[in-house]
Structure 1
Amino acid sequence: MALSHPNPPEQALREAILNAGASPDGRLPPERILAAQLSISRTQLRGILDAMARDGLIFRRHGQGTFLQPPPVQAAERLSTLARRVTPRDLMEVRLDLEPALAAHAARRGSAEDKTRLLQLMEHSLAADDIERYEHADDLFHYKIAEMAGNPLFLSLFEEIRTLRRAGDWQRTRRAALTGDDIARLSALHRDIAQSICAGSAEDARAAMRQHLQQVSGALRRSDAASGES
């Protein structure tokens, strides 16, 4: 993917990186290959990747590489057994305990750059016009909040929950449960969460996140009830 301009501006390089051929899990090619594709030095590439990581556009994991989406947890194989035992109700119970606290911490600890990126991710979820786009936007939005909480142990716990959420049965259940109206309501609640975090209001962020997750839980319960009646 060499660029035609001999000295392409950084924005063009960023866009080329975001459009680079990634593996199915979102992993970018190794730096030496990516630098060759872009016709830039590895030193220049590292500087751009550093800036993109700070902006939340890419994700780095030591020993795993650089990703265009939050990377899979290192214990994904271990969690596959647990995924077969965990129900959507189990997941929502844990999320309702953990994620309001993450939102409150994010409100207290998030940097100005973090908050700018969170607002961008919120807009992406508002613009989502189908379940696949909403799921992707929702994933990035919640991951960013977990990062902003500024606690690596909290982030590790969240990543395990995220891995379980991405299991096939959970995704099928969630996609079957969420209607277009549900997506619109949940996206609007993303706005409430983001605005509270960006205002630095920890308790409002906590309450908004709890309301958002209760809406998800309610949609799952309605879907379960409908399935039981059919």
Structure 2
Amino acid sequence: MGRPRTPILSREGIRATALTLVDRDGLEGLSMRKLAQELDVQAASLYSHYRTKDELLIDIADEVTLSIDVSGFETGGWRHGLTVWARSYRAALAAHPNLVPFIAAGPGRREEALRRADAVHGGLVAAGWPPRYATLIGASTKYLVVGAAMNSFARGFDDDVRVYRDRYPNLSQAHRLSEHAAEIDEASFELALSSFLDGLSNVYSREAVSDR
């Protein structure tokens, strides 16, 4: 048998190529036309698998976020649950930062995202947090994680010492930050997370326990 003239498409292959495009060119760099070019097919052939770009992005988002772990609320207290969730959440988003704006827009009707949101909210309420606080904590954790996943503080500095010398004496070592970016970003996230949780512990002792 000869080779088929048109490459055989699968939803998995389409998602993988689309994610590669997003990683390389950003969300604005993904279109069904560009995706078809990458796959060496006609754009019309994609629509039998995905009717719209948003439908495709929803599936990609679900696949990327499958590793986000909300089981900590079942195996430990609320602080453990938030720690496990936040760390795995950041890791999933940081692996594909160009996709973060789409994922961060909200769960909408995405089944996996709603399942995780339900587990987080339920875990916090079961631990004694009033529902309003559970909502605020979920939102606050998202703000912390999304910011950490999208941006690198250390990589924002130029590695040329001449940029800082003389004019910015307090930043005399800033040119070295990008060299240690991964370490700084990880430590900074952990500091922010632990400080956030310590603050919540104070609120919990004042608000949550009295509402049980």
TM-score, normalising length: structure 1: 0.36
TM-score, normalising length: structure 2: 0.38
Q: Which has more radius of gyration?
A: 2
More RCO (CA 8 Å, sep 6+): 1
